[in-house]
Structure 1
């Protein structure tokens, strides 16, 4: 096995791992009895529930970061104009998928009364921007990425009038936690992922992709990854402990050691703060450094999911929601319970759900169900050359 293959496999292993863990969070949303409440609220959570949510925090930033690395590696096989155009087209394709396909899988609502814009929405726009800036220069991508990554929380200290066009644009693209936009009386667009902080993650991943070029020394790359990750994690500890820069809200003191510990770890994902990136991407980079030469059964299983992440991501929503429908009727619910006015997901009334251990069993079953389709699709991609496969 060549060095190049080892490098790519380490990315697939980590990407597969975060895809599997990600399914836990979405399974909890649909199947846990309190799935619609905030599992990281120090005043209303439990240790198992808190850490079930915390571990899934690692998924989105790691996936976006690895998407940046993959974009860099893919661009090395194309001329700059071709690579730029591909990223832009794939970005627009992802926007369509988020709106038309993933929203339907999440809601099972064919009338699209609630359109949900999440991580694929942010990745799509980030790829469009990456396609534009990478056409200009690699260095520009790196500089803009670092500014967004480390600097976007400066806006926490600036009062922005969101009633003006510029203020509204800044809030929409950089600072909003979530925005709900009514479209007439019957439809709402929920923008849950703001764009540019995630763009910064992808751009930094693209810049670090150079460390994976064939000419780059393997030992040096692993050292760079480890110490970059360690530095990010230490920055989280320092910034969080002293309530310094890097999170919209400072730490709180509850007068209870466990609640204080929960609050210490409860940093902003929406939008992703620098402290959030420190606690998530820091360990992810260190892990990426450590698994480069891993060869075991677990790694091979994770690679199955990691080599077809987009296919897995879209499919897992439909599998989860189909099982929800089965459990919905098996639990005695009927047609009158399909729509809950307070929840955008059909067949998921507020009173539906199970205890956390059962949620974990359902999650493992869902991951197992998805294994064979992922194996099939991976083989299909390797033996077929249709143009559309490049977008999946």
Structure 2
């Protein structure tokens, strides 16, 4: 089975979008002090800037699951696939806590250790490697059960100071663990994200269908997920810890309606993001040749792009601080503010963030294109892990 271009196209599109969120995180004037989804302080454009990037992590995890299924079918080697997933999963976790964490904070002391999307994918790979003998349909059902039921955990009446609750919470919800003057933060609790990966793995079977039949099926699933999101969200009882409320006008009421929770990914977060991702997959090969060509450059080298773009953005952030009159002695790397002084205003307005985002994506086009060609022409063992 040949490589599926729609997967790489969609992955490339969301990776381009991802850079916008990280430029905003590191360089927007209000990113340290305000949440872009706080309806009392945000603007519609700032909210949208954050909301559109909600697609990124679910797409990475979902498509990672689909890619595992397709790889297993291509190689028809369960033992080899299992070994590879275990090694690659471990490698991704190591990478998260070294190159990626340093690229995010530039903190040589590693005062904040973040368990985020790359580590979640790594742990998901390792878990999936142990489940490969189970039918893909069964894994898909397990994934759906996780997505639909994991929001019930906060409703379970655990006893006060329950050991069981303390043990389960980090697997289902964000958690913070201080140690030795540092802090370990689980931003991407593994169970909900594993559910998304299992659904992606089961969906990999759709790519064995003919293109027309596959796209019709994927399109139906995408619209069904969005319809289900609308119904459950309108009822406003279950599916997300933050209920929507009537706001000062229609626009902000709509923003409240779609203001779903990512940490952890709620049922409604998964329905709206995966619904859109399904639609993107269905239409991916109908995009213009120019869009497909550009998206494929980034989508074929996702990990390379992911690591490098953090360093590019962070170097630009330090240059921004120098340009705004700060000296290196004022930079704060151990506080989780990316070098930006906490008590002094710094950063750019949102329109500048968009310009820098376009610059970063354009700057990485040639390196990603080169690495994609190098990876295609060479069979070095280490290239399988990047």
Same fold (TM over 0.5): yes
Q: Is the 2:110–2:334 Cα contact (8 Å) retained in structure 1?
A: no
Q: Please name the residue that 1:274 is paired with.
A: 267
| In the alignment, structure 1 residue 200 sits paired with structure 2 residue 195 | yes
CA separation of 1:33/1:210 partners in 2, compared to 1, >3 Å: closer, same or farther?
A: same
Partners of 1:92 and 1:21 lie apart in 2 by 27
Q: Please name the residue that 1:288 is paired with.
A: 281
| In the alignment, structure 1 residue 99 sits paired with structure 2 residue 88 | no
* 1:27-38 equivalent positions in 2, closer than 5 A: 27-36=23-32, 37-38=34-35
Partners of 1:204 and 1:83 lie apart in 2 by 18
| In the alignment, structure 1 residue 22 sits paired with structure 2 residue 18 | yes
Which of 187, 196, 200 is the equivalent residue of 2:182? 187
Greater mean alpha carbon deviation, residues 143-152 or residues 23-32: 143-152
Q: Please name the residue that 1:362 is paired with.
A: 356
CA deviation after TM superposition for structure 1 residue 90, in Å:
0.9
Q: Is the 2:320–2:347 Cα contact (8 Å) retained in structure 1?
A: no
* 1:53-68 equivalent positions in 2, closer than 5 A: 53-68=50-65
Q: Please name the residue that 1:237 is paired with.
A: 230
| In the alignment, structure 1 residue 72 sits paired with structure 2 residue 69 | yes
Secondary structure of 1:310's match?
A: helix
Partners of 2:223 and 2:159 lie apart in 1 by 37
Runs of 5+ in structure 1 lacking a partner? none
Q: Please name the residue that 2:206 is paired with.
A: 211
| In the alignment, structure 1 residue 87 sits paired with structure 2 residue 85 | yes
Partners of 1:304 and 1:161 lie apart in 2 by 52
Q: State the aligned residue count.
A: 383
Which of 112, 121, 124 is the equivalent residue of 1:123? 121
CA separation of 1:153/1:303 partners in 2, compared to 1, >3 Å: closer, same or farther?
A: same
Runs of 5+ in structure 2 lacking a partner? none
CA separation of 1:266/1:162 partners in 2, compared to 1, >3 Å: closer, same or farther?
A: farther
CA deviation after TM superposition for structure 1 residue 161, in Å:
4.7
Q: Please name the residue that 1:387 is paired with.
A: 381
Secondary structure of 2:184's match?
A: strand
Q: How far does the alpha carbon of each residue in 1:204-246 deviate from its partner, in whole angstroms, 9 at most, with x for none?
A: 0000101112xx2322211110011111101111111110321
Q: Please name the residue that 1:11 is paired with.
A: 7
TM-score, normalization: structure 1? 0.93
CA deviation after TM superposition for structure 1 residue 268, in Å:
0.7
CA deviation after TM superposition for structure 1 residue 361, in Å:
0.4
TM-score, normalization: structure 2? 0.94
Greater mean alpha carbon deviation, residues 130-139 or residues 262-271: 130-139
CA deviation after TM superposition for structure 1 residue 295, in Å:
5.0
Q: Please name the residue that 1:259 is paired with.
A: 252
Secondary structure of 2:114's match?
A: strand
Partners of 1:136 and 1:238 lie apart in 2 by 32
Which of 288, 291, 299 is the equivalent residue of 1:298? 291
Q: Please name the residue that 1:113 is paired with.
A: 111
CA separation of 1:161/1:114 partners in 2, compared to 1, >3 Å: closer, same or farther?
A: farther
